[in-house]
Protein backbone atom coordinates (compact mmCIF):
# COMPACT_ATOMS: atom_id res chain seq x y z
CA UNK A 1 0.00 0.00 0.00
CA UNK A 2 1.27 3.43 -0.87
CA UNK A 3 2.30 5.92 1.79
CA UNK A 4 -0.52 8.24 0.72
CA UNK A 5 -3.12 5.60 1.56
CA UNK A 6 -1.94 4.98 5.14
CA UNK A 7 -3.00 8.32 6.67
CA UNK A 8 -6.39 7.97 4.96
CA UNK A 9 -6.78 4.49 6.39
CA UNK A 10 -5.78 5.68 9.85
CA UNK A 11 -8.27 8.53 9.69
CA UNK A 12 -11.03 6.14 8.64
CA UNK A 13 -10.10 3.72 11.40
CA UNK A 14 -10.26 6.39 14.09
CA UNK A 15 -13.59 7.69 12.80
CA UNK A 16 -14.98 4.18 12.66
CA UNK A 17 -13.95 3.27 16.20
CA UNK A 18 -15.21 6.54 17.61
CA UNK A 19 -18.60 5.89 16.07
CA UNK A 20 -18.66 2.30 17.25
CA UNK A 21 -17.75 3.24 20.82
CA UNK A 22 -20.97 5.13 21.44
CA UNK A 23 -20.86 4.78 25.21
CA UNK A 24 -17.72 6.86 25.47
CA UNK A 25 -19.77 10.00 25.99
CA UNK A 26 -21.61 8.45 28.92
CA UNK A 27 -20.82 9.69 32.39
CA UNK A 28 -17.82 8.30 34.23
CA UNK A 29 -19.90 6.30 36.66
CA UNK A 30 -21.55 4.27 33.92
CA UNK A 31 -18.24 3.89 32.15
CA UNK A 32 -16.56 2.43 35.25
CA UNK A 33 -19.39 -0.04 35.68
CA UNK A 34 -18.68 -1.46 32.23
CA UNK A 35 -15.04 -2.25 32.96
CA UNK A 36 -13.95 -5.85 33.20
CA UNK A 37 -10.60 -7.55 33.52
CA UNK A 38 -9.60 -10.19 30.99
CA UNK A 39 -6.19 -11.86 31.14
CA UNK A 40 -4.89 -9.09 33.34
CA UNK A 41 -6.00 -6.36 30.94
CA UNK A 42 -8.83 -3.93 31.55
CA UNK A 43 -11.45 -3.80 28.81
CA UNK A 44 -14.30 -1.36 28.41
CA UNK A 45 -17.74 -2.88 27.91
CA UNK A 46 -18.38 -0.26 25.23
CA UNK A 47 -15.35 -1.18 23.17
CA UNK A 48 -15.53 -2.32 19.61
CA UNK A 49 -15.14 -6.06 19.19
CA UNK A 50 -12.11 -7.01 17.14
CA UNK A 51 -14.11 -9.37 14.93
CA UNK A 52 -16.61 -6.60 14.17
CA UNK A 53 -13.78 -4.19 13.36
CA UNK A 54 -12.04 -6.51 10.92
CA UNK A 55 -15.27 -7.32 9.09
CA UNK A 56 -16.06 -3.61 8.69
CA UNK A 57 -14.71 -1.61 5.76
CA UNK A 58 -13.77 1.47 7.82
CA UNK A 59 -10.04 0.82 7.61
CA UNK A 60 -10.04 0.11 3.88
CA UNK A 61 -8.49 2.60 1.51
CA UNK A 62 -10.61 3.82 -1.40
CA UNK A 63 -8.58 1.58 -3.68
CA UNK A 64 -9.25 -1.46 -1.50
CA UNK A 65 -12.95 -0.61 -1.24
CA UNK A 66 -13.20 -0.52 -5.03
CA UNK A 67 -11.50 -3.90 -5.33
CA UNK A 68 -13.77 -5.44 -2.70
CA UNK A 69 -16.86 -4.06 -4.46
CA UNK A 70 -15.86 -6.13 -7.49
CA UNK A 71 -16.05 -9.32 -5.42
CA UNK A 72 -19.80 -9.65 -5.96
CA UNK A 73 -22.58 -11.51 -7.71
CA UNK A 74 -23.17 -8.43 -9.82
CA UNK A 75 -19.63 -8.57 -11.17
CA UNK A 76 -19.92 -12.24 -12.10
CA UNK A 77 -23.26 -11.60 -13.79
CA UNK A 78 -21.67 -8.69 -15.68
CA UNK A 79 -18.95 -10.99 -17.05
CA UNK A 80 -21.53 -13.62 -17.98
CA UNK A 81 -23.66 -10.99 -19.75
CA UNK A 82 -20.66 -9.68 -21.70
CA UNK A 83 -19.90 -13.21 -22.90
CA UNK A 84 -23.37 -13.30 -24.48
CA UNK A 85 -23.05 -9.89 -26.13
CA UNK A 86 -19.46 -9.29 -27.15
CA UNK A 87 -17.40 -10.75 -29.95
CA UNK A 88 -16.22 -14.34 -29.32
CA UNK A 89 -12.60 -13.17 -29.33
CA UNK A 90 -13.35 -11.08 -26.23
CA UNK A 91 -15.09 -13.85 -24.29
CA UNK A 92 -13.83 -14.88 -20.87
CA UNK A 93 -13.61 -18.55 -19.95
CA UNK A 94 -15.29 -18.85 -16.56
CA UNK A 95 -13.78 -21.29 -14.08
CA UNK A 96 -15.24 -21.92 -10.62
CA UNK A 97 -13.34 -23.55 -7.76
CA UNK A 98 -15.34 -24.77 -4.76
CA UNK A 99 -13.81 -24.96 -1.27
CA UNK A 100 -14.39 -28.34 0.41
CA UNK A 101 -15.91 -26.53 3.44
CA UNK A 102 -18.61 -25.04 1.19
CA UNK A 103 -19.89 -28.39 -0.07
CA UNK A 104 -21.42 -29.47 3.30
CA UNK A 105 -23.49 -26.25 3.28
CA UNK A 106 -25.04 -27.19 -0.05
CA UNK A 107 -25.48 -30.81 1.06
CA UNK A 108 -27.55 -29.66 4.04
CA UNK A 109 -29.51 -27.06 2.07
CA UNK A 110 -30.23 -29.49 -0.77
CA UNK A 111 -30.99 -32.41 1.56
CA UNK A 112 -28.58 -34.75 -0.24
CA UNK A 113 -25.12 -36.23 0.38
CA UNK A 114 -21.98 -34.23 -0.41
CA UNK A 115 -21.24 -35.92 -3.74
CA UNK A 116 -24.74 -35.28 -5.03
CA UNK A 117 -24.63 -31.71 -3.70
CA UNK A 118 -21.35 -31.13 -5.59
CA UNK A 119 -22.95 -32.45 -8.79
CA UNK A 120 -26.05 -30.28 -8.35
CA UNK A 121 -23.93 -27.21 -7.62
CA UNK A 122 -21.80 -27.95 -10.67
CA UNK A 123 -24.96 -28.26 -12.76
CA UNK A 124 -26.21 -24.88 -11.51
CA UNK A 125 -22.92 -23.08 -12.14
CA UNK A 126 -22.65 -24.52 -15.65
CA UNK A 127 -26.24 -23.50 -16.37
CA UNK A 128 -25.11 -19.91 -15.68
CA UNK A 129 -22.29 -20.10 -18.21
CA UNK A 130 -19.37 -21.39 -16.11
CA UNK A 131 -17.33 -23.76 -18.26
CA UNK A 132 -15.22 -25.60 -15.63
CA UNK A 133 -15.92 -26.41 -11.98
CA UNK A 134 -13.13 -27.73 -9.74
CA UNK A 135 -12.86 -28.97 -6.16
CA UNK A 136 -10.09 -26.99 -4.42
CA UNK A 137 -9.09 -29.84 -2.06
CA UNK A 138 -6.16 -30.43 -4.42
CA UNK A 139 -4.80 -26.95 -3.70
CA UNK A 140 -5.18 -27.57 0.04
CA UNK A 141 -2.98 -30.63 -0.41
CA UNK A 142 -0.21 -28.45 -1.84
CA UNK A 143 -0.56 -26.01 1.07
CA UNK A 144 -0.37 -28.81 3.66
CA UNK A 145 2.71 -30.40 2.09
CA UNK A 146 4.52 -27.07 1.88
CA UNK A 147 3.56 -26.24 5.49
CA UNK A 148 4.88 -29.61 6.66
CA UNK A 149 8.20 -29.04 4.94
CA UNK A 150 8.52 -25.50 6.29
CA UNK A 151 7.76 -26.58 9.87
CA UNK A 152 10.52 -29.19 9.82
CA UNK A 153 12.97 -26.59 8.51
CA UNK A 154 11.94 -24.08 11.18
CA UNK A 155 12.18 -26.70 13.94
CA UNK A 156 15.71 -27.62 12.92
CA UNK A 157 16.92 -24.01 13.02
CA UNK A 158 15.04 -23.06 16.21
CA UNK A 159 18.19 -22.73 18.32
CA UNK A 160 19.78 -20.03 16.15
CA UNK A 161 16.65 -18.30 14.77
CA UNK A 162 14.41 -16.62 17.35
CA UNK A 163 11.63 -16.22 14.77
CA UNK A 164 11.57 -19.87 13.72
CA UNK A 165 9.06 -21.01 16.34
CA UNK A 166 6.24 -20.97 17.06
CA UNK A 167 5.00 -21.27 13.48
CA UNK A 168 1.49 -19.96 12.85
CA UNK A 169 -0.62 -21.32 10.02
CA UNK A 170 -1.41 -18.97 7.14
CA UNK A 171 -4.63 -20.30 5.60
CA UNK A 172 -7.04 -17.90 7.34
CA UNK A 173 -7.20 -14.38 5.80
CA UNK A 174 -8.94 -12.91 8.86
CA UNK A 175 -6.02 -13.99 11.03
CA UNK A 176 -3.49 -12.73 8.47
CA UNK A 177 -5.20 -9.34 8.31
CA UNK A 178 -5.17 -9.04 12.11
CA UNK A 179 -1.52 -10.11 12.26
CA UNK A 180 -0.29 -7.65 9.65
CA UNK A 181 -2.38 -4.64 10.65
CA UNK A 182 -2.56 -4.98 14.42
CA UNK A 183 0.13 -7.32 15.77
CA UNK A 184 2.90 -6.54 13.29
CA UNK A 185 6.44 -7.81 13.86
CA UNK A 186 5.44 -9.66 17.03
CA UNK A 187 3.76 -12.27 14.84
CA UNK A 188 4.46 -11.82 11.10
CA UNK A 189 7.94 -13.48 11.08
CA UNK A 190 6.31 -16.56 12.62
CA UNK A 191 3.62 -16.99 9.96
CA UNK A 192 4.08 -19.92 7.61
CA UNK A 193 4.93 -18.71 4.12
CA UNK A 194 2.90 -21.41 2.34
CA UNK A 195 0.09 -19.80 0.37
CA UNK A 196 -3.46 -20.57 1.40
CA UNK A 197 -5.42 -23.22 -0.53
CA UNK A 198 -7.42 -20.41 -2.18
CA UNK A 199 -4.38 -18.68 -3.65
CA UNK A 200 -2.66 -21.91 -4.68
CA UNK A 201 -5.86 -22.80 -6.50
CA UNK A 202 -5.63 -19.40 -8.16
CA UNK A 203 -2.11 -20.18 -9.41
CA UNK A 204 -3.18 -23.63 -10.52
CA UNK A 205 -6.01 -22.21 -12.62
CA UNK A 206 -4.26 -19.13 -14.03
CA UNK A 207 -0.82 -20.70 -14.56
CA UNK A 208 -1.16 -24.45 -15.14
CA UNK A 209 -4.75 -24.94 -16.33
CA UNK A 210 -4.78 -21.92 -18.64
CA UNK A 211 -1.56 -23.16 -20.28
CA UNK A 212 -3.04 -26.63 -20.78
CA UNK A 213 -6.09 -25.06 -22.40
CA UNK A 214 -3.90 -22.76 -24.54
CA UNK A 215 -5.49 -19.70 -22.96
CA UNK A 216 -3.84 -16.50 -21.79
CA UNK A 217 -4.39 -16.04 -18.01
CA UNK A 218 -6.30 -12.80 -18.55
CA UNK A 219 -8.81 -14.68 -20.72
CA UNK A 220 -9.78 -16.84 -17.73
CA UNK A 221 -12.20 -15.44 -15.15
CA UNK A 222 -11.70 -17.42 -11.94
CA UNK A 223 -14.49 -17.53 -9.34
CA UNK A 224 -13.95 -19.19 -5.97
CA UNK A 225 -16.83 -20.35 -3.76
CA UNK A 226 -15.84 -20.05 -0.10
CA UNK A 227 -17.43 -20.22 3.38
CA UNK A 228 -16.30 -16.79 4.58
CA UNK A 229 -16.22 -13.14 3.48
CA UNK A 230 -12.57 -12.61 4.49
CA UNK A 231 -11.53 -14.63 1.45
CA UNK A 232 -12.56 -11.61 -0.64
CA UNK A 233 -9.91 -9.52 1.14
CA UNK A 234 -7.29 -12.16 0.43
CA UNK A 235 -8.11 -12.29 -3.28
CA UNK A 236 -7.36 -8.57 -3.75
CA UNK A 237 -3.93 -8.60 -2.09
CA UNK A 238 -1.32 -6.97 -4.33
CA UNK A 239 1.01 -9.97 -4.44
CA UNK A 240 -1.75 -12.02 -6.08
CA UNK A 241 -2.17 -9.56 -8.96
CA UNK A 242 -0.19 -9.76 -12.21
CA UNK A 243 0.19 -6.13 -13.32
CA UNK A 244 1.68 -7.09 -16.70
CA UNK A 245 -1.30 -9.26 -17.64
CA UNK A 246 -3.76 -7.23 -15.57
CA UNK A 247 -5.23 -10.33 -13.98
CA UNK A 248 -5.71 -11.77 -10.50
CA UNK A 249 -5.14 -15.38 -9.47
CA UNK A 250 -8.70 -15.32 -8.10
CA UNK A 251 -10.89 -12.76 -9.87
CA UNK A 252 -13.91 -13.03 -7.60
CA UNK A 253 -14.78 -14.77 -4.33
CA UNK A 254 -18.43 -15.58 -3.71
CA UNK A 255 -19.60 -17.07 -0.43
CA UNK A 256 -21.72 -20.21 -0.27
CA UNK A 257 -24.56 -18.04 0.97
CA UNK A 258 -24.29 -15.72 -2.04
CA UNK A 259 -24.51 -18.67 -4.45
CA UNK A 260 -27.53 -20.05 -2.58
CA UNK A 261 -29.13 -16.59 -2.65
CA UNK A 262 -28.63 -16.49 -6.42
CA UNK A 263 -30.38 -19.86 -6.71
CA UNK A 264 -33.31 -18.55 -4.66
CA UNK A 265 -33.39 -15.33 -6.67
CA UNK A 266 -33.66 -17.32 -9.90
CA UNK A 267 -36.23 -19.65 -8.31
CA UNK A 268 -34.12 -22.72 -9.09
CA UNK A 269 -35.23 -25.90 -7.33
CA UNK A 270 -32.78 -28.66 -6.48
CA UNK A 271 -34.94 -31.26 -8.21
CA UNK A 272 -34.76 -29.55 -11.59
CA UNK A 273 -30.97 -29.16 -11.51
CA UNK A 274 -28.88 -31.54 -13.60
CA UNK A 275 -26.28 -33.59 -11.73
CA UNK A 276 -23.02 -32.78 -13.48
CA UNK A 277 -19.67 -34.29 -12.37
CA UNK A 278 -16.89 -31.90 -11.35
CA UNK A 279 -14.01 -31.36 -13.74
CA UNK A 280 -10.45 -32.69 -13.37
CA UNK A 281 -7.65 -30.12 -13.31
CA UNK A 282 -5.51 -32.56 -15.30
CA UNK A 283 -8.28 -32.95 -17.84
CA UNK A 284 -9.01 -36.66 -17.31
CA UNK A 285 -12.44 -38.06 -18.03
CA UNK A 286 -14.70 -39.44 -15.31
CA UNK A 287 -16.05 -38.23 -12.00
CA UNK A 288 -13.90 -36.60 -9.32
CA UNK A 289 -13.72 -38.62 -6.09
CA UNK A 290 -14.49 -36.21 -3.26
CA UNK A 291 -12.11 -36.60 -0.34
CA UNK A 292 -11.13 -34.54 2.69
CA UNK A 293 -8.09 -33.93 4.83
CA UNK A 294 -7.92 -34.66 8.53
CA UNK A 295 -9.28 -32.16 11.05
CA UNK A 296 -12.71 -31.09 12.19
CA UNK A 297 -14.27 -28.88 9.55
CA UNK A 298 -11.09 -27.16 8.35
CA UNK A 299 -8.11 -28.27 6.30
CA UNK A 300 -6.44 -30.09 9.19
CA UNK A 301 -3.07 -28.35 9.04
CA UNK A 302 -2.34 -29.15 12.70
CA UNK A 303 -2.98 -32.88 12.38
CA UNK A 304 -1.08 -33.30 9.13
CA UNK A 305 1.95 -31.29 10.26
CA UNK A 306 1.94 -33.02 13.67
CA UNK A 307 2.03 -36.54 12.19
CA UNK A 308 4.60 -35.57 9.57
CA UNK A 309 6.89 -33.89 12.12
CA UNK A 310 6.63 -36.84 14.53
CA UNK A 311 7.83 -39.17 11.78
CA UNK A 312 10.38 -36.85 10.14
CA UNK A 313 11.96 -35.46 13.31
CA UNK A 314 11.61 -38.33 15.81
CA UNK A 315 10.87 -41.45 13.77
CA UNK A 316 7.50 -41.92 15.50
CA UNK A 317 4.31 -43.03 13.75
CA UNK A 318 1.24 -41.25 15.07
CA UNK A 319 -2.05 -42.78 13.98
CA UNK A 320 -4.52 -41.08 16.31
CA UNK A 321 -4.32 -37.58 17.78
CA UNK A 322 -5.83 -36.83 21.17
CA UNK A 323 -6.88 -33.23 21.76
CA UNK A 324 -6.79 -31.73 25.23
CA UNK A 325 -9.39 -28.98 25.65
CA UNK A 326 -8.07 -25.96 27.52
CA UNK A 327 -10.28 -22.83 27.71
CA UNK A 328 -13.01 -24.23 25.45
CA UNK A 329 -13.56 -26.43 22.39
CA UNK A 330 -11.88 -23.77 20.25
CA UNK A 331 -8.65 -23.75 22.28
CA UNK A 332 -7.10 -27.21 22.29
CA UNK A 333 -3.63 -28.68 22.31
CA UNK A 334 -1.94 -31.91 21.30
CA UNK A 335 1.32 -33.27 22.70
CA UNK A 336 3.88 -35.81 21.52
CA UNK A 337 5.78 -37.48 24.36
CA UNK A 338 8.46 -40.14 24.62
CA UNK A 339 9.78 -41.55 27.89
CA UNK A 340 8.18 -38.69 29.81
CA UNK A 341 9.78 -36.04 27.60
CA UNK A 342 7.61 -33.62 25.62
CA UNK A 343 8.83 -33.63 22.03
CA UNK A 344 6.10 -31.58 20.33
CA UNK A 345 3.30 -29.39 21.61
CA UNK A 346 0.81 -27.91 19.11
CA UNK A 347 -2.38 -25.91 19.61
CA UNK A 348 -5.56 -25.19 17.67
CA UNK A 349 -6.86 -21.68 18.42
CA UNK A 350 -10.14 -20.61 16.81
CA UNK A 351 -12.07 -17.36 17.25
CA UNK A 352 -10.77 -13.90 18.15
CA UNK A 353 -11.42 -14.25 21.85
CA UNK A 354 -9.02 -17.20 22.00
CA UNK A 355 -6.60 -15.51 19.59
CA UNK A 356 -6.38 -12.55 21.97
CA UNK A 357 -5.49 -14.93 24.79
CA UNK A 358 -2.77 -16.46 22.61
CA UNK A 359 -1.36 -13.04 21.73
CA UNK A 360 -1.39 -11.94 25.37
CA UNK A 361 0.66 -15.03 26.29
CA UNK A 362 3.05 -14.43 23.40
CA UNK A 363 3.73 -10.87 24.55
CA UNK A 364 4.77 -12.33 27.90
CA UNK A 365 6.85 -15.08 26.30
CA UNK A 366 4.56 -17.82 27.57
CA UNK A 367 3.71 -19.73 24.39
CA UNK A 368 4.97 -23.31 24.76
CA UNK A 369 3.81 -24.40 21.32
CA UNK A 370 5.92 -25.08 18.25
CA UNK A 371 2.92 -24.73 15.92
CA UNK A 372 -0.46 -23.04 16.28
CA UNK A 373 -3.31 -23.56 13.83
CA UNK A 374 -5.12 -20.21 13.93
CA UNK A 375 -8.57 -19.56 12.47
CA UNK A 376 -10.60 -16.42 13.06
CA UNK A 377 -14.01 -18.13 12.97
CA UNK A 378 -15.09 -19.93 16.16
CA UNK A 379 -15.57 -23.55 15.22
CA UNK A 380 -13.31 -23.30 12.18
CA UNK A 381 -13.99 -22.84 8.47
CA UNK A 382 -17.37 -24.60 8.39
CA UNK A 383 -18.64 -21.83 10.69
CA UNK A 384 -17.63 -19.07 8.28
CA UNK A 385 -20.01 -16.10 8.24
CA UNK A 386 -20.59 -16.56 4.54
CA UNK A 387 -22.61 -19.72 5.13
CA UNK A 388 -23.25 -20.42 8.81
CA UNK A 389 -24.70 -17.14 10.06
CA UNK A 390 -28.19 -17.48 11.51
CA UNK A 391 -31.16 -15.58 10.11
CA UNK A 392 -31.02 -13.33 13.18
CA UNK A 393 -27.49 -12.34 12.10
CA UNK A 394 -24.26 -12.02 14.05
CA UNK A 395 -24.12 -15.57 15.39
CA UNK A 396 -23.57 -18.97 13.82
CA UNK A 397 -26.56 -21.25 13.32
CA UNK A 398 -25.48 -24.09 15.64
CA UNK A 399 -27.89 -26.63 14.21
CA UNK A 400 -26.69 -25.91 10.67
CA UNK A 401 -23.03 -26.10 11.72
CA UNK A 402 -23.59 -29.48 13.40
CA UNK A 403 -25.25 -30.85 10.26
CA UNK A 404 -22.40 -29.53 8.13
CA UNK A 405 -19.81 -31.14 10.42
CA UNK A 406 -21.57 -34.49 10.11
CA UNK A 407 -21.72 -34.16 6.32
CA UNK A 408 -18.05 -33.14 6.10
CA UNK A 409 -16.90 -36.04 8.30
CA UNK A 410 -18.73 -38.49 6.02
CA UNK A 411 -16.09 -37.94 3.35
CA UNK A 412 -13.14 -40.37 3.30
CA UNK A 413 -9.71 -39.02 4.32
CA UNK A 414 -6.70 -39.16 2.01
CA UNK A 415 -3.26 -37.91 2.93
CA UNK A 416 -1.84 -35.42 0.42
CA UNK A 417 1.42 -37.42 0.45
CA UNK A 418 -0.32 -40.28 -1.37
CA UNK A 419 -2.29 -38.16 -3.83
CA UNK A 420 -0.95 -39.09 -7.30
CA UNK A 421 -2.32 -35.89 -8.89
CA UNK A 422 -0.17 -33.78 -6.54
CA UNK A 423 2.93 -35.77 -7.48
CA UNK A 424 2.14 -35.32 -11.18
CA UNK A 425 1.66 -31.56 -10.79
CA UNK A 426 4.84 -31.15 -8.75
CA UNK A 427 6.75 -32.60 -11.71
CA UNK A 428 4.79 -31.35 -14.74
CA UNK A 429 3.83 -27.92 -13.42
CA UNK A 430 6.47 -27.00 -10.84
CA UNK A 431 9.53 -28.95 -12.06
CA UNK A 432 10.01 -30.64 -8.69
CA UNK A 433 9.14 -30.11 -5.02
CA UNK A 434 12.15 -27.95 -4.20
CA UNK A 435 12.31 -26.00 -7.45
CA UNK A 436 12.38 -22.18 -7.74
CA UNK A 437 9.01 -22.50 -9.49
CA UNK A 438 7.49 -24.25 -6.46
CA UNK A 439 8.94 -21.62 -4.12
CA UNK A 440 7.50 -18.78 -6.21
CA UNK A 441 4.04 -20.16 -6.86
CA UNK A 442 3.34 -21.94 -3.56
CA UNK A 443 4.75 -19.38 -1.10
CA UNK A 444 4.40 -15.71 -0.22
CA UNK A 445 5.53 -13.29 2.52
CA UNK A 446 3.58 -11.52 5.25
CA UNK A 447 4.76 -8.15 6.55
CA UNK A 448 3.81 -5.69 9.26
CA UNK A 449 1.36 -2.99 8.16
CA UNK A 450 0.50 -1.76 11.64
CA UNK A 451 -1.07 1.60 12.34
CA UNK A 452 -1.02 3.63 15.55
CA UNK A 453 -3.78 2.09 17.64
CA UNK A 454 -6.46 4.56 18.81
CA UNK A 455 -6.13 5.05 22.59
CA UNK A 456 -9.64 3.84 23.37
CA UNK A 457 -9.09 0.45 21.69
CA UNK A 458 -7.63 -2.42 23.70
CA UNK A 459 -6.79 -5.51 21.65
pLDDT of 24 > 90? The answer is: no
The pLDDT of residue 241: 85
Express as a percent the part of the chain with pLDDT over 90.
Answer: 63
Same domain, 255 and 207: yes
pLDDT reported for residue 59: 58
Distance CA 349, CA 355 (A): 6
168 and 201 share a domain?
A: no
pLDDT at 143: 97
pLDDT at 273: 94
- pLDDT > 80? residue 317: yes
Average pLDDT score over the chain: 84
Per the structure, the complete domain to which residue 182 belongs is given by 143-195+293-442
Do 383 and 335 share a structural domain?
yes
Q: How far apart are CA 179 and CA 417, in angstroms?
A: 30
Residue 104 maps to a domain: yes
pLDDT value for 21 = 43
State the pLDDT at residue 151. Answer: 98
For residue 401, count other CB atoms closer than 10 A to its CB: 23
Q: Are residues 213 and 357 in the same domain?
A: no
Residue 232 sits at φ, ψ, to 5 deg, of: -65, -40
Kindly report the pTM of this predicted structure. 0.85
Does 423 lie in the same domain as 323? yes
User: Would the pLDDT of 111 be above 60?
Assistant: yes
pLDDT band, very low/low/confident/very high, at 389 (cuts 50, 70, 90)? confident
Nearest residue to 67 (alpha-carbon basis) of 16, 5, 19:
5
pLDDT attached to residue 9 = 39
Mean pLDDT value of segment 384-400 = 82
Give per-residue pLDDT as tens, 254-303.
999 999 999 999 999 999 999 999 999 987 766 778 999 887 777 789 99
Count up the domains in the chain and report the number: 2
pLDDT at 339 over 80: yes
Determine, yes or no, domain membership for 427. Answer: yes
CA angle 211, 215, 221 (to 5 degrees): 110
How much is the average pLDDT of 116-145? 96
For residues 263 and 270, give the distance between their C-alpha atoms in angstroms, rounded to a whole number: 9
Mean pLDDT to the nearest integer, 31-59: 42
Rounded mean pLDDT, 66-87: 85
Would 259 be classed as within a structural domain? yes
Q: State the CB neighbour count (10 A cutoff) for residue 421.
A: 15
Cα distance between residue 355 and residue 87, in whole Å: 51
| Residues 207, 212: Cα–Cα separation, whole Å | 9
Q: What is the dihedral of CA 398, 399, 402, 408, to 10 degrees?
A: -110
Based on the domain organization, do 299 and 396 belong to the same domain?
yes
24 is a domain residue: no
Residues near 402 by Cβ (< 8 Å), separated by ≥ 6?
none
Q: What is the pLDDT of residue 5?
A: 40
Examine residue 300 and state whether it is found in any structural domain, yes or no.
yes
pLDDT at 448: 84
360 and 397 belong to one structural domain: yes
Segment 205-212 shows an average pLDDT of: 95
Q: What is d(CA 59, CA 55) in angstroms, rounded to the nearest whole number?
A: 10
Whether 126 and 213 share a structural domain: yes
210 and 344 co-located in one domain: no
Predicted confidence at residue 31, as pLDDT, reads: 36
Q: What is the pLDDT of residue 71?
A: 85
> Under a CB-based contact definition with an 8 Å cutoff, are residues 370 and 302 in contact?
no
**What local confidence, expressed as pLDDT, does residue 68 receive?**
77
Q: Tell me whether residue 447 is in a domain.
A: no
Alpha-carbon span 89 to 340, nearest angstrom: 68
> Which phi and psi (to 5°) does residue 389 adopt?
-70, 135
Predicted pLDDT at 459: 39
Looking at residue 294, its pLDDT comes to 84
pLDDT at 285: 65
Supply the CATH number for residue 404's domain.
Answer: 3.40.950.10
Q: Using one digit for the tens of pLDDT, what is the confidence trace for 146-198?
A: 999 999 999 999 999 999 999 999 999 999 989 998 899 999 999 999 999 99
Same domain, 182 and 301: yes
Helices (H), 179-242: 197-203, 210-212, 230-235
pLDDT digits (tens, 9 = 90+) for 231-246: 998 998 988 888 777 7
Instruction: Indicate the pLDDT class of residue 227, thresholds 50, 70 and 90.
Output: very high
Both 98 and 235 in a single domain? yes
Furthest C-alpha separation in the chain: 71
Task: Check residue 61 and give its pLDDT.
Answer: 64
Q: What is the DSSP string of 320-384?
A: ----EEEEETTEEEEEEEETTEEEEEEEEEESHHHHHHHHHHHHTT----SEEEEESSTT-GGG-
Question: Which CATH number does the domain housing residue 88 bear?
Answer: 3.40.50.1780
Antiparallel, parallel or unpaired: β 252-255 and 324-328: unpaired
pLDDT value of residue 64:
67
Element (H, E) at 17: helix 5-20
Amino acid sequence: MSEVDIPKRKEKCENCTKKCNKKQSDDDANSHQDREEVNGQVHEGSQLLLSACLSCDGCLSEEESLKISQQSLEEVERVLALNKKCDVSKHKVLVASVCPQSLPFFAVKFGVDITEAAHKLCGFLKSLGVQYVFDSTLAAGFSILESQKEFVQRFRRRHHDSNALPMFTSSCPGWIRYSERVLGSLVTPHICTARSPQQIMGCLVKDYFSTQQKLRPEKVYHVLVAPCFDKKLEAVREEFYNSLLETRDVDCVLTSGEIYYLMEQRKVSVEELDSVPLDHVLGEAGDVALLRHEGRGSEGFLEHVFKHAAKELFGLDVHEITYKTLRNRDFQEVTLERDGETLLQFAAVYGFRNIQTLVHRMRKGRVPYQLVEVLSCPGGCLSGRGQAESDAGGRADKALVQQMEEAYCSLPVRLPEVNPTLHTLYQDWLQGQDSPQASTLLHTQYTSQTLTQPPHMQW
